[in-house]
Amino acid sequence: MTRTADPDIAGASGRPPSVDVLARSLAASGLPHPVLVDVARAAIADGRPDEAPARAEAFRRTLLTPVVNATGVLLHTNLGRAPVAHTQAARAQTVEFDLATGERGSRQRAVGQLFARLCDAEAAMVVNNNAAAVLLVVAALAEGREVAVSRGESVEIGGAFRVPEVMEQSGARLVDVGTTNRTRLADYRRAVDRSGADVAMVLKVHPSNYRVEGFVEDAPVSQLATLEVPVVADIGSGLLDANVPWLKGAPPAWLADEPAALQTLAAGASLVTFSADKLLGGPQAGIIAGDAELVARCGAHPLARALRPGGLVLAALQDLALAYLRRDVTDHVPFWRMVAVPVSELEERAGNVIEQVGTAGGGAASAGLRAVPTEALPGAGSAPGIVMPSFGLQLDGDHLTALRAGALPVIARVRDGRTVLDLRTVDPGDDQTVVDALRALG
């Protein structure tokens, strides 16, 4: 931004500049005038009116900002997990209106019936995230009673979400079963059948963000379903079908141990809960699917209203569910499009980027820039410890700050003193942004 020579702004006259004049001089930042007034007032109060443009820019960059994800983490929690594109007209929609009767309808019906179909479940409903789904299920089915959970699944995931604390908030009582590394069906059976037991359900929790290996054992859903209480499986990551029928060929190897909603319900779970913004590839939401009577109890609980999603999320989920039912997922779900890209295509794109940077005289950047094989991660606690082959760009040194400084920031990573940009998580339409960012480093 060009600085003005007006003494009322620069303070050259020996008196503090006008807050209003200084704020108006920052209009090119695009920020609303009341915000610029705050920025100008703070800069003047600190005796640094000359820093006002930099402060305005710093404030602008604290707002939600589109970025290019070149980290190689497909579901990057800090970057919003699954990238979603959803647009709709600014008009009323039937969020809670029944077109057939002309009366109030169910907020859950439209999207719930689609996810019930996708999961081969009797019913389904939607809340605002998977933590909310688990909380609602436990509160609706086990308030004042006991819930059996394996010690190896009494986990903490991101944001200090702890299973024992969810139990406490829901009004249920946690019953620890088995040990950290080995829990058998007999352990659950003892908990259910012990004297004075009041177990309302068994909760099987997908560890999500860690993996225990070695001397381990757990009881699968098919075994737990033989108990005399409902089995609720929090499968976490939101894989719909282990066969991944929306992709060509066999399911990706990195999904081998990931629980899926369809197969978990078929194995005997009464309910499954999972995230919509992970392997499902949609907006942030939580899905509860399974037995119709249990879903209805969840929907009737007072917490259901507090945890319900709004019309924008419901519309985006409806589009997502329809894409799965049409089997055109890779055309409409960016996450699965990233998964499906062959490494050879990523390698070709890396070569093209290097060529464009060099052609434009990329200087120091182009001199050290090279294409390298990389390993991408599913991210967001999905398939912990698993990587997938990828390809990207590597540059000596740490250039993360400079790459973030662009009009459209590029978020990369540093490994062993080298900056790496993984192209699996970069939309091909953003390759030119990567080229421009690398040129700027020169």
At residue 209, the pLDDT reads: 58
- 105: tokens are 């309808």
Confidence label for 39 from pLDDT (cuts 50, 70 and 90): very high
Domain ranges of the chain: 7-60, 68-82+338-441, 109-332
| pTM of the predicted model as reported, rounded to 2 decimal places | 0.91
Confidence label for 155 from pLDDT (cuts 50, 70 and 90): confident
Work out the percent of the chain whose per-residue pLDDT is above 90: 76
What mean pLDDT do residues 210-227 have? 85
Pairing of strands 123-127, 286-290: antiparallel
Q: Residue 54: is its pLDDT beyond 80?
A: yes
For the domain covering 109-332, report its CATH number.
3.40.640.10
In the block, tokens 């006002």 appear at: 52
Q: Residue 137: is its pLDDT beyond 60?
A: yes
Model pLDDT for residues 4-28, shown as the tens digit of each residue = 445 455 555 567 789 999 999 999 9
Model pLDDT for residues 71-82, shown as the tens digit of each residue = 999 999 999 999
Distance CA 346, CA 349 (A): 5
At residue 3, the pLDDT reads: 44
Which residues, in sequence order, are bridge partners of residue 414?
419
Domain range 68-82+338-441, its CATH number among 3.30.70.260, 3.90.1150.180, 2.60.120.10, 2.70.70.10: 3.90.1150.180
Mean pLDDT of the chain: 91
Confidence label for 358 from pLDDT (cuts 50, 70 and 90): confident
CA neighbor of 190 nearest in space, from 231, 152, 150: 150
**Rounded to 5°, angle at Cα 393 from 428 and 331:** 20
68-82+338-441 shares its CATH topology with 109-332: no
